[in-house]
């Protein structure tokens, strides 16, 4: 039980690199590794304090603020923090979470093994549709491979973030509806496991 939610017992979180593949379109390796607070804190702090990221995440703050934020997530069995890399150079931060224990669960019929994602590209050089196609497909593939019982991957970008919503739709996510969190109007994006995206 988490609060009033009954859910499966979650496995221990992995450590280190969890996913790697070569993207022939970019001529680069895309990889995902777990966040290391000592290694990644300054980078995370810099990313969160950039105006573009602040506009959507609203998590700006000091190094101490961000250490506390990341330590809380490290202790939370429902969230896995990840760093995305191109050719082993960090460019993005992702949170992968079990949707049933998350704030998104009341807004749709969350399954026991549904996963959700929060996404942040911190390095300006790695923005753009071709890069998003690479890392979003890799992140999706990792979560579908991580547990074969995961039937859906969900996300809740701000409803007015048309660019990100368009990128997600290009990768097979459907915009199901809009709903209100206390801090934002969100769009529910859902990708269903299919034979095609299991390859």
How much is the CA Rg of the chain, to the nearest whole Å? Answer: 16
User: Is residue 17 flagged as an active site residue?
Assistant: no
Smallest CA-to-CA distance from 136 within 174, 186, 176, 92 is with: 92
The active-site residue, picked from 71, 101, 123, 156, is 156
Strand 115-121 to 152-155 pairing: parallel
Q: Enumerate the β-bridge partners of residue 82.
A: 34, 94
Q: Give 100's contacts (C-beta < 8 A, 6+ positions apart).
A: 5, 7, 110, 111, 112, 114
SS3 99: helix
Strand 174-180 and strand 17-23: the pairing is unpaired
Residues with a known catalytic role = 156
């Amino acid at each position: 039980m988490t609060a009033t939610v009954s859910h499966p017992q979650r496995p221990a979180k992995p450590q280190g690199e969890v996913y790697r593949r070569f993207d022939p379109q970019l001529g680069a390796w895309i990889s995902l590794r777990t966040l290391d607070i000592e290694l990644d804190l300054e980078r995370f702090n810099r990313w969160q304090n950039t105006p573009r990221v602040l506009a959507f995440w609203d998590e700006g703050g000091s190094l101490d603020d961000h250490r506390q934020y990341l330590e809380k997530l490290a202790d939370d069995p429902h969230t896995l923090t990840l760093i995305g890399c191109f050719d082993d150079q960090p460019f993005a931060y992702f949170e992968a979470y079990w949707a049933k224990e998350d704030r998104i669960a009341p807004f749709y019929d969350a399954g026991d093994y549904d996963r959700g994602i929060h996404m942040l590209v911190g390095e300006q050089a790695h923005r753009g549709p071709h890069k998003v196609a690479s890392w979003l497909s890799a992140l999706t593939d990792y979560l579908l491979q991580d547990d074969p019982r995961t039937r859906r991957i969900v996300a809740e970008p701000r409803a007015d973030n048309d660019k990100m919503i368009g990128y997600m739709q290009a990768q097979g996510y459907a915009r199901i509806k809009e709903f209100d969190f206390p801090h934002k109007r969100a769009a529910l994006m859902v990708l269903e496991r299919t034979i095609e995206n299991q390859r």
